[in-house]
């Protein structure tokens, strides 16, 4: 099945996304199209610089997406291994009952225009990368992913992916953690719905 860029011209309208996710047909190509569209919207939304992705290009630093942002000074920062890994994780997270409910609520502006999805379903087997900054410089370590976080926005009847990042098992002080065997949707802020896997 073609990705969103082929199916609907790269415009992630919420009602089309809801239909696709409801059929559990939202794949990595769809997620990549969503990431690309969201990148184009940055100048208008003034949003976070997108999914946390480790770069392998020799022309840019590994943490290029942090440059000139308020996040650059953080001691710890988690990233997907690549943009493709990010797209796969986003697809796995959205292609669930929790993802479907998030898109439906955003489509009809139920409970606000922003959704936070904490997804164990999106935890890909290849894990993520932790950037640690301190007095002795920057170090990089790999670790399994416990769950991923997505922040989603309704904008002009379309879906914008504000950010996505892996929450690694090596970090034990996550502010919010979905129950084992479940995904968790926060919408509006401070109100939670839990979706158990297989139900």
Cα 130 from Cα 7, distance rounded (Å): 35
Residue pair 116/148 in contact (Cβ under 8 Å)? The answer is no
Model confidence at 64, pLDDT cuts 50, 70, 90, reads low
Residue 62: the pLDDT is 58
pLDDT tens-place string over residues 150-198: 999 998 899 999 989 999 987 767 789 999 999 999 999 999 999 998 6
Instruction: Tell me what the pLDDT averaged over the chain comes to.
Output: 83
Four-point Cα dihedral 5, 34, 98, 76, nearest 10: 150
Q: What is the mean pLDDT of residues 66-81?
A: 69
Model confidence pLDDT, tens digit, residues 134-147: 667 677 788 999 99
Domain residues for the domain of 49 are 4-196
Query: At 21, which helix (H) or strand (E)?
Result: helix 14-22
Does residue 69 have a pLDDT over 70?
A: no
Q: What's the pLDDT score for residue 138?
A: 74
Residue 113: DSSP 8-state = S
Q: How many domains are contained in the chain?
A: 1
pLDDT for position 122:
95
pTM (two decimals): 0.85
For the stretch 58-67, contacts whose Cβ atoms lie closer than 8 Å and that sit 24 or more positions apart, written own/partner, are 62/131, 62/140, 63/131, 63/138
Q: What is the pLDDT of residues 96-125, one digit of tens each?
A: 999 999 999 999 987 889 999 999 999 988
């Amino acid at each position: 099945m073609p990705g969103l860029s082929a199916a609907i011209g790269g415009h992630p309208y919420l009602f089309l996304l809801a239909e696709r996710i409801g059929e559990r047909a939202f794949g990595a190509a769809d997620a990549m199209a969503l990431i690309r569209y969201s990148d184009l919207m940055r100048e208008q939304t003034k949003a976070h610089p997108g999914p946390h992705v480790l770069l392998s290009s020799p022309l840019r630093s590994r943490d290029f997406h942090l440059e000139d942002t308020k996040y650059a000074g953080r001691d710890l920062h988690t990233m997907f291994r690549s943009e493709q890994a990010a797209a796969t994780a986003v697809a796995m997270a959205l292609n669930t009952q929790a993802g479907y409910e998030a898109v439906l609520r955003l489509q009809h502006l139920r409970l606000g225009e922003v959704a936070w999805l904490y997804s164990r379903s999106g935890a890909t087997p290849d894990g993520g990368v932790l950037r640690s900054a301190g007095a002795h410089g920057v170090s990089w370590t790999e670790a399994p992913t416990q769950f991923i976080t997505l922040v989603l926005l309704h904008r002009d009847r379309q879906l914008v992916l504000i950010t996505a990042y892996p929450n690694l098992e090596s970090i034990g002080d996550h502010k919010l953690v979905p129950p084992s065997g479940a995904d968790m949707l926060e919408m509006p802020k401070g109100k939670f719905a839990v979706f158990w896997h297989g139900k």
